């Protein structure tokens, strides 16, 4: 129960060497997940699928080479297997508890020290919890925030155990009716709001045409 050896080598070299020791074969477990994902995407009526489609459009629209920051819990799930993720140069995500992940503070701080475009995709609760990350006078115009507002922590609809509790809506999801227009005004950010059925591509493009200050796009998923 203690460390006995330390191999000083780059991760890429180590993994490349390790991979040569294993033969490529069909992975039945992986295929089960791929079939499940395919079936899930067929259900166009679910909020989860609608949100996934919005994220697909966002990732296709952001400029290549952007730095992408992701909030917990649905945003990171929507993006993790997305084919359009290649548009991002780097991807960052903090692991927090119940939406308290500090992703807004991370994105804001990183954008202050890096001239590239920083795009944060976050949920409404994560943004509310960490809104003080914008409470400073050093924000730069390269910070672009996209809030997926489904009015609560909808991940708990998909978490076994929590989704059958009578307290689901009140204490797990924490349903809330807010929008973020006045919060954007308070922090002197450009702001636009649209629904899931609006032209998401044009709405996302708004973020990158606003060049004088940070900008916030709120997409109402429900």
When pLDDT is cut at 50, 70 and 90, the band that residue 93 belongs to is: very high
Global pTM value:
0.77
Query: Which run of H or of E encompasses 220?
Result: strand 215-220
Do the Cβ atoms of 40 and 48 come closer than 8 Å?
Answer: yes
pLDDT in tens, 167-208: 888 877 788 889 999 999 999 999 999 988 888 999 998 888
When pLDDT is cut at 50, 70 and 90, the band that residue 123 belongs to is very high
Residues 6+ apart with CB under 8 A from 175: 151, 152, 169
Structure confidence by residue, pLDDT tens digits, 73-85: 788 888 987 878 8
Q: Residue 22's Cα: distance from chain center in Å?
A: 34
Residue whose C-alpha is closest to residue 81's, from 103, 59, 104, 106:
59
Q: Distance between alpha carbon 165 and the CA centroid of its chain, in Å?
A: 26
Average confidence score pLDDT of the chain:
87
Q: Residue 155 in contact with residue 73, Cβ under 8 Å?
A: yes
For 18-29, letters b (16+ CB in 10 Å) and e give: eeeeeeeeeeee
Integer-rounded Cα radius of gyration of the chain = 19
Question: How much is the pLDDT for 162?
Answer: 74
pLDDT score recorded for residue 111 = 97
Residue 215's pLDDT is what? 96
Most confident of 9-18, 32-41, 65-74, 110-119: 110-119
- Write the pLDDT tens digit of every residue in 11-57: 999 999 888 888 776 778 888 888 887 776 665 556 667 888 899 99
């Amino acid at each position: 129960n203690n460390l006995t050896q330390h191999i000083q080598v780059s991760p890429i070299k180590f993994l490349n060497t390790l991979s040569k020791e294993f033969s490529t074969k069909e992975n039945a477990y992986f295929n089960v997940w791929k079939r499940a994902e395919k079936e899930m995407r067929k259900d166009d009526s679910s909020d989860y699928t609608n949100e996934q489609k919005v994220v697909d459009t966002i990732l296709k629209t952001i400029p290549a080479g952007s730095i992408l920051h992701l909030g917990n819990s649905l945003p990171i799930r929507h993006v993790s297997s997305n084919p359009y993720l290649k548009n991002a140069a780097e991807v960052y995500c903090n692991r927090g508890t119940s939406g308290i992940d500090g992703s807004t503070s991370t994105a804001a701080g990183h954008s202050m020290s890096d001239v590239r475009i920083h795009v944060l995709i976050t949920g409404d609760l994560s943004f509310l919890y960490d809104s003080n990350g914008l409470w400073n006078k050093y924000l730069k115009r390269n910070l672009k925030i996209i809030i997926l507002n489904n009015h609560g922590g909808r991940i708990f609809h998909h978490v076994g155990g929590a989704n059958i509790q009578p307290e689901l809506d009140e204490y797990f999801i924490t349903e809330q009716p807010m929008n973020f227009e006045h919060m954007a005004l308070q922090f002197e950010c450009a702001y636009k709001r649209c629904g899931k059925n609006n032209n998401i591509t044009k709405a996302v493009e708004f973020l990158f045409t606003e060049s004088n200050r940070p900008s916030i796009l709120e997409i109402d998923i429900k």
